[in-house]
Amino acid sequence: MNVLISPEQVVRLAFAPDDYLPSELIAEADIAAAAERYLFPVIGRELYDRLMMETNRSFVDQYLAAPLAFYTRLLVQPRLDIRTGRCGTTAPKLDGATPATEEARRSLRNSLRREARELLLRAVARIEERADDYPEYDPKKNVLKRCTLDGKLVQIR
């Protein structure tokens, strides 16, 4: 599967250093799903494909790796919050720790979504500043140029 970042990068960028999370819990399919859901509607599949083939990864590393990592975490976090085994679906409860409340999990998801969106907007601004370098990018197809969610307010342009 062709993805812009590795599972190791997702763990390094989207989780705290003291979070113990083996990168094996993040699949390339998770990263591809995050790109499909969050990046393609903004930067377009054509630009994504070009960035996949480039050997100079500086733009990806500086501008797209972090938002893609946060969006990937946003998608996999519910799966990390529960476990499925012989006893069915359970919430982990370790010695000295209790599972996070639904309110805390919702707050984490909202925080991840906001940070990823801000970083993606930063990447788009960079693409638009250097439009000649990214001819595959079409601002008319960028969903953020047509519709945004600001709090609970939907703005259609």
> Tell me: the pLDDT tens digits for 117-134?
999 999 999 999 999 999
Percent share of the chain, pLDDT over 90: 62
> Tell me: the pLDDT tens digits for 37-55?
999 999 999 999 999 998 8
Say whether pLDDT at 147 is over 90: no
What pTM was computed for the model? 0.86
Q: Side chain identity at 25, as an amino acid letter?
A: L
Residue 151 tokens, joined: 């709090």
Distance CA(131)–CA(138), nearest Å, equals 9
Terminal-to-terminal C-alpha distance of the chain: 35
Mean pLDDT taken over the chain = 88
Of the candidates 83, 56, 70, 53, which has an alpha carbon nearest to the alpha carbon of residue 12?
70
Band of residue 149 on the pLDDT scale cut at 50, 70, 90: low
What is the three-class DSSP state of 46? Answer: helix
Distance CA(26)–CA(29), nearest Å, equals 8
